[in-house]
């Protein structure tokens, strides 16, 4: 197993990284060209989501939604990893929140296309914020299920129970969304955001 590429450049020296297509570019000019080369059965998973999403449309929607929530992004490393792998290491500023770090492992298939993506975010506080924002951004699609909370706590701390101010609107919204299979995001102004999937 080997990692190709150079570490952070010395102060005053431009930092270069390697793109998925092998081109060397300035870190400030880098963008994930692997997103333009997705296999039909590509999959994505990571610490900000539940389960695995499948297919080019799903993967592209998730990645572009995440990137749209960054006010800024700085790549520390990008380059080949082993025989079929590709790594990205970056930090970003989440809109309305703090800084987040991410290490992305992209695996190629035999045709050189993006086959599998794993994204590992840190710290947890920023991870949870990003996951909630992506869920809201994808609320009108079935993909939001991958970003909903497994359980929600009300003000009293009871798992899975909501005060009447949340329950009533949640039931009405769930009834409207049930046919489409979309997620329902309900906010109690006196507590944190709760995301519930219609039953």
Q: Residues 167-188: what's their mean pLDDT? A: 50
Q: Give yes or no for residue 52 having a pLDDT over 70.
A: yes
Q: Residues 138-166: what's their mean pLDDT? A: 62
Is residue 134 domain-shared with residue 155, that is, in the same domain? no
Q: pTM for this one?
A: 0.71
Task: Say if residues 16 and 27 touch (Cβ distance below 8 Å).
Answer: yes
Number of domains within the chain: 2
Q: Residues 49-73: what's their mean pLDDT? A: 97
Q: Residues 2-30: what's their mean pLDDT? A: 75
Is residue 75 domain-shared with residue 158, that is, in the same domain? no
The burial of 134, by beta-carbon neighbours within 10 Å (0-12 exposed, 13-18 middle, 19 or more buried), is given as buried
Q: Between the CA of residue 102 and those of 66, 77, 87, 94, 199, what are the distances in Å?
A: 12, 11, 10, 12, 33
Residue 148's pLDDT band (boundaries 50, 70, 90)?
confident
Q: Residues 143-154: what's their mean pLDDT? A: 68
Q: Residues 48-57: what's their mean pLDDT? A: 96
pLDDT of residue 127: 95
Is residue 23 domain-shared with residue 68, that is, in the same domain? yes
Which residue range(s) make up the domain with 166? Answer: 148-199
Is residue 123 domain-shared with residue 159, that is, in the same domain? no
Q: Give yes or no for residue 74 having a pLDDT over 90.
A: yes
Is residue 79 domain-shared with residue 120, that is, in the same domain? yes
Q: Give yes or no for residue 172 having a pLDDT over 90.
A: no
Is residue 116 domain-shared with residue 193, that is, in the same domain? no
Is residue 60 domain-shared with residue 90, that is, in the same domain? yes
Is residue 131 domain-shared with residue 171, that is, in the same domain? no
Q: At what angle do helices 124-137 and 56-68 cross, to 10 degrees?
A: 120
């Amino acid at each position: 197993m080997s990692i190709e590429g150079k570490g952070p450049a010395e102060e005053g020296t431009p930092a270069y990284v390697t793109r998925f297509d092998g081109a060397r570019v300035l870190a400030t000019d880098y963008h994930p060209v692997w997103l333009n080369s997705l296999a039909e059965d590509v999959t994505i998973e990571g610490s900000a989501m539940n389960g695995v999403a499948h297919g080019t449309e799903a993967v592209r929607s998730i990645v572009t939604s995440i990137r749209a929530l960054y006010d800024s992004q700085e790549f520390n490393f990008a380059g080949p990893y082993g025989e079929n792998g590709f790594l990205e290491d970056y930090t970003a500023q989440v809109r309305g929140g703090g800084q987040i770090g991410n290490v992305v492992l992209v695996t190629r298939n035999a045709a050189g296309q993006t086959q599998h993506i794993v994204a590992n975010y840190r710290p947890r506080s920023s991870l949870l914020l990003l996951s909630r924002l992506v869920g809201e951004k994808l609320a009108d699609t079935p993909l939001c299920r991958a970003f909903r909370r497994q359980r929600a706590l009300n003000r009293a701390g009871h798992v899975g129970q909501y005060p009447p101010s949340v329950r009533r609107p949640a039931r009405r919204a769930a009834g409207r969304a049930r046919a489409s299979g979309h997620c329902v995001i309900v906010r109690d102004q006196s507590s944190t955001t709760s995301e519930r999937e219609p039953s």
